[in-house]
Amino acid sequence: MTSAADRIKPAAYILIFLLAISSCSTKPDESAEVYTRRLQADSLLVQGYNQSDMFHFNPAWASFNQALNIYASLDNREGMIDALLAMGRTRRITGDIKAAVELYAHAGALAEYSGNPDCIRSVLNHQADLALREGDPVQALDLLADRENESTTGRERSAQLRLRGSAEYALGNQEKALTLLLEAVQVAEAAEEHVAAAQSYYKLASIASLGARFDEAEDWALKALKEDKIPEYTPGIASDLRALAIISEKSENKEAAEDYYRRAWLAYRALGRDDDAESARNRLEDLTGKAVTVP
């Protein structure tokens, strides 16, 4: 079962995502021309995340870069931060860690100058996520420490708590990790940030599964699936179904495992994520002893 950090962030539904990426608030009292240009850049960010959901990273990079150029022409620092973080995430996923670090650093410099706590927290969360993926939970915790006068709430606060929980778990502090992850869920649900809540539930399921507490793991994974279904976040749904399949297989519930692998296979296939779809299909074939094809 993959970690919560391996889930792809939401992008497939424009209105919800435009709200989600607006952790760094935009400038008030825009002219009609500026407003139109900013919406164009916002749409390019959505387009880029849609492309990255399907692992089309070169087109995604082009969309993010175009958005960055528009934000820069408007002197929209907050939009530039969002675009730089998206570009850094793309480089991180494709394995160019040095470029990801540099892009996050540029975003961090803009965020510190802006003084916007949501922007600062968003950058620190991205940097901490990268540190965790690179196997450095101590650095991640340093980046995730509460800052003086920090006032972030909602999605970014939930992400901060989730990442802190993941770092504490990596350091062997399981009880502290569980407390932080449950708090992350509460913050996300209070803000109606369903995908953020699902990410924390998914991590809780992963921890329980690793501890062979399969009933508990299934309960958390079902909660993650329920949250992802509210905005119909397909990448999250596919990951949740695969997690439920793995948990069911580990607990020797063959019938449930087959059902979840089949649904995960079709969900990944619909996303165009061929490698993930093939992996789920192979496990389904191993369990059923039959070739699995689409009629």
- The CA distance from 227 to 232, in Å, is 9
Mean pLDDT of 6-18: 43
- The CA distance from 155 to 77, in Å, is 20
Helix (H) or strand (E) holding 254: helix 254-271
Residue 58 makes CB contacts below 8 A (sequence gap 6+) with none
Judge contact between 177 and 140, C-beta under 8 A.
Answer: no
Helix (H) or strand (E) holding 165: helix 154-170
Residue 172 makes CB contacts below 8 A (sequence gap 6+) with none
Structure tokens at 251: 């607990």
**Least trusted range by pLDDT, from 26-30, 138-142, 208-212:** 26-30
| 62 belongs to a structural domain | yes
| 153 belongs to a structural domain | no
Judge contact between 21 and 82, C-beta under 8 A.
Answer: yes
- The CA distance from 293 to 295, in Å, is 6
Split at pLDDT 50, 70, 90, the class of 137 is very high
> Residue 230 gets which letter from DSSP?
T
| 88 belongs to a structural domain | yes
| 294 belongs to a structural domain | no
Structure tokens at 188: 């996300």
Mean pLDDT of 54-70: 95
Domain of 95 in residue numbering reads as: 26-115
| 53 belongs to a structural domain | yes
| 60 belongs to a structural domain | yes
For the segment 27-36, what is each residue's pLDDT rounded down to a tens digit? 556 788 899 9
Dump strand ranges (E) for 204-249. Answer: none
Q: What is the pLDDT of residue 147?
A: 65
Matching residue, tokens 């003086």 = 148
Total count of domains within the chain? 1
Q: What is the pLDDT of residue 115?
A: 84
CATH number of the CATH domain containing 68? 1.25.40.10
> CA nearest 198: which of 167, 168, 173, 235?
235
**pLDDT(242) > 80:** yes
3-state secondary structure 190-227: HCCCHHHHHHHHHHHHHHHHHCCCHHHHHHHHHHHHHH
| 61 belongs to a structural domain | yes
Judge contact between 224 and 201, C-beta under 8 A.
Answer: yes
Mean pLDDT of 78-97: 96
Judge contact between 281 and 266, C-beta under 8 A.
Answer: no
| 128 belongs to a structural domain | no
